[in-house]
A and B are shown apart, each in its own frame.
Chain A
Amino acid sequence: MAHGPAKGISRWLFTTNHKDIGTMYMWFSFAMFLLGGAFAMVIRAELFQPGMQLVEPEFFNQMTTMHGLVMVFGAIMPAFVGLANWMIPLMIGAPDMALPRMNNWSFWILPFAFLMLASTFFMEGGAPNFGWTFYAPLSTTYAPPSVTFFIFAVHIMGASSIMGSINIIATVLNMRAPGMTLMKMPLFVWTWLITAFLLVAVMPVLAGAVTMMLMDIHFGTSFFDAAGGGDPVLFQHVFWFFGHPEVYIIILPGFGVVSQVIPAFSRKPLFGYSSMVYATASIAFLSFIVWAHHMFTVGMPLAGELYFMYATMLIAVPTGVKVFNWITTMWRGSMTFETPMLFAIAFVILFTMGGFTGLMLGIAPSDIQYHDSYFVVAHFHYTMVAGAIFSLTAGIYYWLPKWTGKMYNETLGKTQFWIAFIGFNLTFFPQHFVGLAGMQRRVPDYALQFADFNMLSSIGAFMFGMSQLMLLFNVINTILAGKRAEKDKVWDGAEGLEWTVPSPAPYHTFSTPPQVK
């Protein structure tokens, strides 16, 4: 019958076990999170004061570029894939993922992609320095030679993501326990199913964009070269056709985590379950038809501006439904505020804020003033950090007892929450003001009048960075020295199949499918 894991390193190299692979995804993404975070610390240290102090502008630009790439593709996306690997089979009563060997492969190519990307720092001309959005022709004709390695790294990350999402779709559609109909699935599974479809749809578009870059650089084509009859604006259309769904790829699984955590600590079922599913699907659909709101400054016809503006505003409706569903779930519930709940509530507040500033940027005539300013930086960090990172942190604290069979240190968790919450807001809230006043993004130097707010931002960033080390310590401490979790279901309000298996979850679960009523 069930056998345990293989011995030594081969357990990790050759594993097809969804829990092992999930664990590897989580540790890998945390390593990338620390790397991307270190880049962010360099950026904030340079911006601590106006003028050029610590690094050359060339290196600064490499930092901003690599920070974005590593955080998006190396930290947030693999972390959610790790959560999916761990939790989806447990939540739908499946013994493993549908395609376990591909699962192994999709993980193991990732470290090579990022090794290749990081190796560009040691190449002549340095690492990619053209911004994480890599607009052509800055990223083609004017790019450092390492751009080719960047392109291959993106290809590999894309292949990994596509395989990961095919696996998730196949698992969710085929491996559900008897009685687990689609509309009974936990919301985390639903949001991941929709996210996986988004990934399968848009990662090839990104691959196409970088392939066209590769052709332009090495094979004499002119997709994005105006001198040869191409068009740099084409790049932006292709990139944002990937890029806008990408932001929902990053946030939708976060919505899923929060939709598990809030009902558990409110001790109430999730309010408006089916409307949550439809709202998620609507957001995913809308994400395909709004891409050019990132491009209001390229000189678009009025009809285009009006269309993309209104389509963008429409996203506020399903998002509003979700936020009010979370509030209503909490409404007169029997609530307690453990660390996962604190992160989930902070998520709802701060993500809503990021949504409203996004609305301001979605309005064409106001965007032309705020476009590419620090206001944009503030906006997307409210959605990426307070959205994705906070929901991930909530998920880690929420499921850690299930993974390890041990309780994390609640006091340390709450302390981390408050330091992260205050540090985050100290970093990014002032950036709204400097952005509205005209400070641009991607600059190593800025006008004197922004000095005070930037200093606050830097102090907040160092605080936020420290709070992440506390998370790391708390997790390691739980694994090594945590107190044994007393019950299999550590949260008395939690629902779902994952709480019916022992803690720590055994190596093989649901070898016999459970019956879902």
Chain B
Amino acid sequence: MKTLENLFDFPFNIFDPAGVQAGWLANLGWVLVVLMSVLIIGMAVLVVWGALRRRGRLEEHMPIDVDGGKGWILWGGVALPVTVLTSLFVVTVVTLNMLPGDREEPALAVKVTAHQWWWEVDYLYDDLPQRFSTANEIHIPVGQPVRIELISSDVIHSFWIPKLHGKIDAIPGHTNALIVEAEEPGVYRGECAEYCGVQHAHMRFVVVAQPPEEYQAWAARQREPAAPVTDPKLVKGREAFEGYACALCHSIRGTKARGQVAPDLTHFASRMTIGGIMPNTRARLQAWIVNAQALKPGVRMPTLEEFDGETLNALAAYLESLE
């Protein structure tokens, strides 16, 4: 199980790409960083040098050179920018051209709906029974292009997996798309990159890039409805879920819980995080159920203080059984 500390360590370094697109962007980034550093240092040296080539002091002026330095205008003001800008333009156009990656039709399409402040993920298989939903966690097969379709249900958000690709906004009324292709298996951090309100900083998700067969196994498990429970404690938990406020917002396929406005919890126990911000552990789960507002202030999940300890235990145990 991931702890809070290494949850923060899910890598998201732009310059250590794990995908085809991010690779191109990182190459462009290095070219830019090196070029700009050279130019900035060059200019700074020039200004300081120009300033220090002074003639005389306030009291004793030496003849000044009113027309000196015209060559600088020609070289620095015209020739240099034109050369640099033209070559930058070429590098950029090449990058833009390579960016979509593999031209073949992506094998997998995932619809991501951004909500304040979580991510709904729907796997769009052509065959309807193959489809399933999850939240704040996206699994993709390594080495295959995946098409991400983005919409938003409220304000503008931006979908960003720094190690796989640049940002693209999720805008109400628009559908944006992005093709990502992971090259290395791993768990990467994803974030909302457009300021979207009070919990913008904690609107995170996790991307799990797995070998295709592992991905298929995961997808097969996600498609299943929740397994029926028989243990009396788990039954009590399920009944609490269905009977209290939970089911108004959340759904668990295979039960009476059909809420549509909050994350689908059918396979909650298989996920790494709670609310995208905390490791999925029993203690944190119970704290979250009772007082999500204390952990992620402003989150749409209300405080639920009506449970007695026994019910809360049963509820948490039931949720933890949803592998």
Interface residues of A (CB under 8 A from B): 56-58, 61, 129-131, 135, 137-138, 141-142, 225-227, 230-233, 266-269, 271-272, 275, 297-299, 302, 305-306, 309-310, 313-314, 316-317, 320-321, 323-328, 330-337, 345, 348-349, 352-353, 356-357, 359-360, 363-373, 436-438, 440-448, 492
Contact = CB atoms under 8 A, between A and B. Distances in A.
A371 B169 CA distance: 11
A317 B46 CA distance: 18
Contacts of A129: 197-198
A371 B298 contact: no
B47 A345 contact: yes
Interface in B29-74: 29, 32-33, 36, 39-40, 43-44, 46-48, 50-51, 53-58, 61-62, 64-66, 68-70, 72-73
A321 B76 CA distance: 8
B73 A330 contact: no
14 contacts: A267-B64, A268-B66, A299-B171, A317-B78, A321-B78, A325-B77, A334-B55, A349-B43, A352-B47, A365-B24, A365-B99, A372-B194, A440-B193, A442-B200
Contact of B197 (A142, A320, A359): A142
B96 A302 contact: yes
B155 interface: yes
A267 B96 CA distance: 49
A56 B298 CA distance: 10
B289 interface: no
B220 interface: no
Q: What's the interface size class on B, roughly?
A: 35 or more
A334 B63 CA distance: 8
Contact of A368 (B25, B116, B155, B199): B25
A77 B69 CA distance: 34
B154 interface: yes
Nearest to B15: A436
A369 B81 contact: no
Give 9 nearest A-B pairs by CB, closest first: A226-B173, A368-B166, A443-B201, A335-B54, A331-B69, A226-B172, A328-B69, A299-B176, A332-B65
Interface of B: 5, 8-9, 12-15, 24-25, 28-29, 32-33, 36, 39-40, 43-44, 46-48, 50-51, 53-58, 61-62, 64-66, 68-70, 72-73, 76-78, 80-82, 85, 88-89, 92-93, 95-96, 99, 116, 154-156, 158, 162, 165-169, 171-174, 176-177, 191, 193-202, 297-298
Contacts of B76: 320, 323-324, 327
A365 B85 contact: no
Contacts of B201: 57, 440, 442-446
Interface of A is mostly: helix
A353 B36 CA distance: 9
Given A297-B167, A333-B55, A327 B50 contact: yes
Indicate the member of A56, A305, A364 with the most B CB atoms within 10 Å.
Answer: A364
Given A360-B36, A369-B166, A437-B14, A138 B70 contact: no
Contacts of B65: 331-333
B12 to A, nearest CB: 5
A320 B42 CA distance: 13
Contact of B53 (A225, A331, A359, A360): A331
A231 B116 CA distance: 19
Contacts of A305: 96
B62 A271 contact: no
A36 to B, nearest CB: 19
A370 B298 CA distance: 27
Nearest to A330: B50
Contacts of A443: 200-201
B199 A57 contact: yes
Given A61-B198, A363-B92, 14 more contacts: A231-B173, A232-B155, A232-B172, A302-B96, A316-B85, A332-B69, A336-B54, A353-B44, A359-B36, A366-B29, A366-B92, A437-B14, A438-B14, A448-B5
Nearest to A135: B156
B162 A438 contact: yes
Given A138-B195, A348-B47, A371-B193, A365 B95 contact: yes
B173 A372 contact: no
A297 B158 contact: yes
A368 B168 CA distance: 7
A348 B48 CA distance: 10
Contacts of B68: 328, 331-332
B209 to A, nearest CB: 18
A390 B10 CA distance: 40
A330 B24 CA distance: 42
B279 to A, nearest CB: 15
